[in-house]
Amino acid sequence: MLETATLEQILERHERDPANIIAILQDIQTEVNWLPEEDLRYVCAELEIPPSKMMALATFYRAFSLKPRGKHIVQACLGTACHVRGAVRILGAIERDLGIEGGQTDEDLQWTLETVGCLGACALGPIVVVDGEYHGQMTSAKATRVLQRIKKAEGNGSGA
């Protein structure tokens, strides 16, 4: 959950205009990697938006998460071009490395693993996106190295 001052800054940046609700939700999610219910209630009250409309928006767009997500977001493409080039094997390696399955977040909120239908970079497939950075022509070994590099940068082998 964000501090009230941070929520106020986000609302002011978007001129407290309900027409900017998508951008407001994006900013909240950028701050905490998900949309906490308390923050949504606050925005609804401040902008006089019915909670039903807020939930319709927050659940319609797949980019929004109503559940806590990890510090690091890993997206594995399972689209046709990636699938035929071994995406399922790569996903399996990532699941083993992180100890979670696609669609899950680890208990210490360090890692979230998402599967997506297409990332729009088919020529580079298979694709894995880690924290917004695209990694093309992925293999299981490359995926493991990318995750290990991040874990090492965090200061330990677990990423915690």
- How is the chain split into domains, by residue range? 4-60, 72-153
DSSP-based three-state secondary structure for 159: coil
pLDDT tens figures, 73-129: 999 999 999 999 999 999 999 999 999 999 999 999 999 999 999 999 999 999 999
Q: What is the CA radius of gyration of the chain?
A: 18
Residue at 108: amino acid letter:
D
Q: What long-range pairs does 58-63 form, CB within 8 A, spacing at least 24?
A: 58/25, 61/22, 63/26, 63/29
With cut-offs at 50, 70 and 90, classify the pLDDT of residue 63: confident
Residue at 2: amino acid letter:
L
CATH superfamily of this structure's domain 72-153: Glutaredoxin (3.40.30.10)
Checking if the pLDDT of 156 tops 70, the result is: no
Q: Chain centroid to CA 60: how far?
A: 15
pLDDT of residue 155: 77
pLDDT of residue 157: 53
